Amino acid sequence: MLPSLRNQLAPSLLDGYGTLYSRLGRPKPGEEETFRTKLLEDYLGPADQHSDLLRLGRKLGSLLLPQAPVQVGGVQLPQPFILAGGWIKGRGYANESEALAHVVRPDSFLPGWRMLPLLAGPVEYGSFNRWPRLAPGVSGNPGIRAATAYLSVHRSDLPSTYGLNISPPPVPGDGEEMRQEITESLEIIFAADLNPSWITLNLAHLMIDPELAATVDDLVEVANQAMPTTTPLWFKVSPELPATRYRELLTLCDKCNVKAIIATDVLFQYHPDGSPAFLSGKPLAPLARKAQIALATLKHIYGHEVDLVACGGILAGRDLPALKQLGIRAWQYHSALHHRGPLAAPLIWWEAERRR
């Protein structure tokens, strides 16, 4: 389709979609997890296996996704936005044998893995832990071996640009255990010959504990040593860190050849029983912006080479100009898929374009 025709049609179509979704599709507060489960398992999962729906998704994406490539973190992104991985992570399992047994079943092991890239552009699958884990909601995990096995089986259907996110579990083990988990996770990924466009190491939940600072630094170095030189390593950080710590992390990234920092993940908190809780979406936005400003300022002052990718509470086009002012060229989103639906990214991008 001619770019001029796309520029005429896409904004109007997305306006109509946005209005309809806000009235009929958006989940009510407190119902986000139920919405997520229903969207993935009842709609996107089945659509992954339906050729006619995939064809429709491809046509919609070709019409609505902007042609706006950007080079960030050693990766040529076709659009300047990335769907954060928690949306395409699959269910939790009790052990690796159980997870691997589900890989060959006809139902989609990672619901949305085919349809969402068609509608949303670049995606980051995960985060995946080394081992499977049964837990409610987004805390469950299929484990990296089963996830890569599934993606490897379907390698020919993977999008041309995608990332993989790996992380220690929400309640991590000791330093040596985490070093082994990160090393094994990377070995499993590259033994599967998946050739992801980038790997994100997510240690945000460790960063809330200042006593784990040395462990975080060590895990970044471990990941760097285990990575093939041709695949960029990215690093996702926590909000609410002191500026001195962000400076240390920037220096660490330069030392370890980390190509991009994603700022930020959710703010990890814990319930009294020790189970994880998360601050995300709109409440996270001011904390994420504070971190982005600190990182961008320090990067400018000290000449750090690592790129920045914004993340945290990006819900509308009005959120993007501030990122551009900081020199941030790409952004990642998660909660917007609740608030704006499967076409959130092109909708937000076109909203921002009309504000220019």
At 137 the pLDDT is 65
How crowded is the C-beta side of 19, counted as CA atoms within 13 Å?
5
Which of these CATH numbers, 2.30.40.10, 3.40.640.10, 3.20.20.70, 3.40.50.11540, describes 3-355? 3.20.20.70
pLDDT tens for the chain, residues 1 to 356: 666 767 788 999 999 999 999 998 888 888 888 888 889 989 999 999 999 999 999 999 999 999 999 999 999 999 999 999 788 999 999 999 999 999 998 778 999 999 999 999 999 999 999 999 998 766 789 999 999 999 999 999 999 999 999 999 888 889 999 999 999 999 999 999 899 999 999 999 999 999 999 999 999 999 999 999 899 999 999 999 999 999 999 999 999 999 999 999 999 877 777 666 788 999 999 999 999 999 999 999 999 999 999 999 999 999 999 999 999 999 999 999 999 999 999 999 999 998 87
Closest C-alpha to 322, from 287, 284, 346, 292: 292
Q: How many CB atoms lie within 10 A of CB 27?
A: 15
Domain ranges of the chain: 3-355
Residue 12's identity, in one-letter code, is: S
Residue pair 110/130 in contact by the 8 Å Cβ criterion: no
Handedness of CA 70, 74, 77, 80 (dihedral sign): negative
* Alpha carbon distance 133, 95 (integer Å): 7
Q: What is the pTM of this model?
A: 0.95
At 7 the pLDDT is 79
From residue 200, give the alpha-carbon distance in Å to each of 48, 233, 235: 24, 6, 5
How crowded is the C-beta side of 286, counted as CA atoms within 13 Å?
1
* Alpha carbon distance 310, 290 (integer Å): 11
At 49 the pLDDT is 93
- Which residues lie below 8 Å from residue 5, measured CB to CB, with a gap of 6+? none
Question: Bridge partners of 331?
Answer: 81, 310
Residue pair 254/306 in contact by the 8 Å Cβ criterion: yes
At 33 the pLDDT is 82
Residues 143/145/148/153 CA torsion (nearest 10 deg) = -120
Rg (CA), the chain: 19
